[in-house]
Structure 1
């Protein structure tokens, strides 16, 4: 059996995202990670997002990044996202930002949950909740 690749999006570094040193601003790395997380959730939901109908949405609880190599204007990067589910109310997004030449630029690990927007509380069993809502778990996680 061959390992599946995690979901990914491609992004080009733009001039207005740079810091005074000409590098991609540190906060923009986080934005790139968010783009991949959101696009993955949208792709996995399919044509109708039943979580939204239930007034439930993903929420970011923590984010940690390790910067490996600088990015500059015009660089094109692949931003991956792979969800890891456990047994609690939270789950992880493991992400990489890699230049198209294969150079690893950053690694991001986020802790997320699914929040009941009416109660403002995390829901139990986020993996099961996503599955029940019709999300494609094999797209969300290479472990599925």
Structure 2
């Protein structure tokens, strides 16, 4: 196991993202997770060599730990976890700057052949063949 830090981005909670209770709307947590996933895929080069193939979200789950309010600044981590089969995981944590865990997001994704509309085999192998930075993209195995 290495001490590698997961990929992270910084986001400021905006007033228009709040619900009637004055804290971050539940759906926005999903949006923050999506932003971190897309930024990681872009930064790693994971999608560059995959014409006709796209990452698709199959399942997402959020565990809310602490509320977020307007003006809070958070780091949103993300890392992929590959196993066997056609799907893979991308997990994120939303962390306040003081280190407080605000939410945990777990997602199941696949790579879809856009012409056939079917998931492709071995997403890890596909990313590697496309020249993705697998050290940046995925958690140590």
Task: Say if 1:5 and 1:142, in contact at 8 Å, map to a contact too.
Answer: no
Once superposed, what is the RMSD of the aligned Cα atoms? 1.3
TM value normalised by structure 2? 0.96
Matched, 1:100 2:97: yes
Superposed counterparts of 1:1-144, under 5 Å: 2-45=2-45, 49-51=48-50, 54-143=51-140
Q: CA deviation at 1:142?
A: 2.5
TM value normalised by structure 1? 0.94
Q: CA deviation at 1:2?
A: 4.3
Residues 135 and 5 (structure 1 numbering): CA distance in 2 closer, same or farther, change over 3 Å? same
Task: Say if 2:40 and 2:137, in contact at 8 Å, map to a contact too.
Answer: yes
Task: Say if 2:2 and 2:140, in contact at 8 Å, map to a contact too.
Answer: no
Q: CA deviation at 1:3?
A: 1.1
Q: Unpaired runs of 5+ in structure 1?
A: none
Q: CA deviation at 1:141?
A: 1.0
Q: Unpaired runs of 5+ in structure 2?
A: none
